[in-house]
Amino acid sequence: MATIKREGFGVVEPNHLSASYTGQVFAQLPAAESIDVLENGMFVKYDYAKGEVNFDGDGEFMLVFNEEKLYDERKQSHKDYAMQRADFYDGVMVPRVFKTNVGDIMTTNTVAEAEYAVGDKLTPGSDGVLAAGDGDMVWQVAKVYTMPDGQPGLKLQRIL
């Protein structure tokens, strides 16, 4: 068991994400105006009918996996990046999202602060962060792990 409490923003290590092979990578819709920060590892709905990504639209949750823009690698690491509305000249954030499939595997610390053990099941919450529970999309803890920067993390596999 491990308690996940992260420092900085969420981080994703893509162990086996099929989207880069299936072409199911989307980056055309802006984030809803109610969203000010999108961290890697969060989940959003790609709501094409409304013309935005949001947390409550129709459709399947998709993984936020933005290209990190770090300008001084000597002083910054993965945990120092999140897409933030205040950083955009026009305030419009257009995140890159991956459709995940059953069997996909990733390591992340973008989960609700809690204690986790192998076998626990997580699902995206109303804030886009994975938390304990069952839903239409379920990720199972395969290993209590460590992120590249030494923070606690979880290796997760999508099982539903």
Q: Which residue has the higher pLDDT, 4 or 154?
A: 154
Q: For 103-120, what is the mean pLDDT? A: 97
Contact of 70 with 77, CB cutoff 8 Å: yes
Indicate whether 28 pLDDT > 70. Answer: yes
Helix extents (H) in 4-134:
19-22
Nearest to 116 by CA among 128, 104, 133, 102: 133
State the pLDDT at residue 73: 67
Q: For 114-134, what is the mean pLDDT? A: 97
Q: For 1-11, what is the mean pLDDT? A: 90
> Which residue range is the domain that position 33 belongs to?
2-158
CA distance 159 to 123: 11
Proportion of the chain above pLDDT 70, given as a percent:
96
pLDDT tens for 53-77 read: 999 999 899 999 998 876 666 556 7
**Total domains, the chain:** 1
SS3 for 149?
A: coil
pLDDT tens for 32-48 read: 999 999 999 999 999 99
State the pLDDT at residue 75: 57
